[in-house]
Amino acid sequence: MEFGWSTTGDEVVKAFEDQVRGKTFLITGPTPGGIGAETATSLATADPKHLILAGRSQAKIQPLIDDINKGHPSVKTSFIQLDLASQTSVRQAAKDVKGLLGDDKIDVLILNAAIMACPYALTEDGIESQFGTNHIGHFLFGNLLLKDDLVRSRVVVVSSAASLRKFELVEPHLKDITYDHGKSYDPFIAYCLSKSCNVLYAKKLSKMLKHKNISAFSLHPGSIKTNLQGYITEEMRNQAIADFQKEDPTFVAPKRKDLQQGCATQLRAALDPSLGSHSGAYFDDCQVSEPAVHKPAEAHMDEVWELSERLVGEKFDF
């Protein structure tokens, strides 16, 4: 089938049913009303072996688990408590996943959770909350699972079009991830930095995991109205579009997608067996995309990796 802007998650899953059936998937941040939950719902239609749903609150995730259990009772569905803003929680979650899996492995790890453009705050580890949650939390969680050899095939990191800001504008903040204790904090710039680092994390993983035949991808799911945009006002959105257009006069604000369209790109990255040779790629509208702005950012890939290791107090070499 042709994949594009309007492709739905259900269409992608139907096209690759054999890549879902009997497989185990872990998705972070599958809150109902978001693309993580929609991804899980689509996967459930093709009889996966096990869906592991990792989030901060079981109460928020339970309605999704109940829906999947009702519609697809043969699919094993499990909740893992995971607060990406707490490295203690992340480490415990990785241990819990290992115990839950037993002799199994995660076929596809989908790092989907995020916060966006929120007021200034620090994680319990003293890191600006968007960087700490969107990048550092996933960096630590993904790497701990990989270190224990718990991932079989793919890592999919959900980034954003926010990664298309010129890296030279966001990179200086890597020198002070507290944003001078909030004095120089811009909520959207902080979001852009975290999403740029998602892309660099996937690219670095693709190199480090090549010998294990594990692929890593990042992506922009599209512009979708979800609870992720809870802090975004129309004024903020218009200002962000204007800022992008200053850097790239050809930039056009993306059309809104619904949830089914919004989960399709990460599902293609997760399932399409023909993509193995494209490990490290970034996807947009279900297609491999090579934004020019990402190329100069790659020069900072090792810098971001080493900073991330320092912030979590652990080195990773797979």
CA distance 97 to 80: 7
Q: 3-state class of 291 per DSSP?
A: coil
CA distance 57 to 48: 23
Residue type, 223: S
CA distance 113 to 307: 21
CA distance 280 to 217: 5
H helices, E strands: number in the chain: 12, 10
- Give 13's contacts (C-beta < 8 A, 6+ positions apart): 20, 42, 43, 45, 46, 267, 271
Q: What distance lies between CA 150 and its chain's CA centroid?
A: 18
Q: What is the 3-state secondary structure (H, E, C) of 55-102?
A: ECCHHHHHHHHHHHHHHCCCCEEEEEECCCCCHHHHHHHHHHHHHHHC
Burial class (CB in 10 A: 0-12, 13-18, 19+), 163: buried
Q: Does residue 120 have an active-site annotation?
A: no
Choosing from 179, 185, 191, 201, the catalytic residue is 185
* Helices 138-147 & 301-312 angle (0-180, nearest 10): 80
CA distance 243 to 43: 37
Burial class (CB in 10 A: 0-12, 13-18, 19+), 142: buried
Residues annotated as catalytic (active site), given as ranges: 185
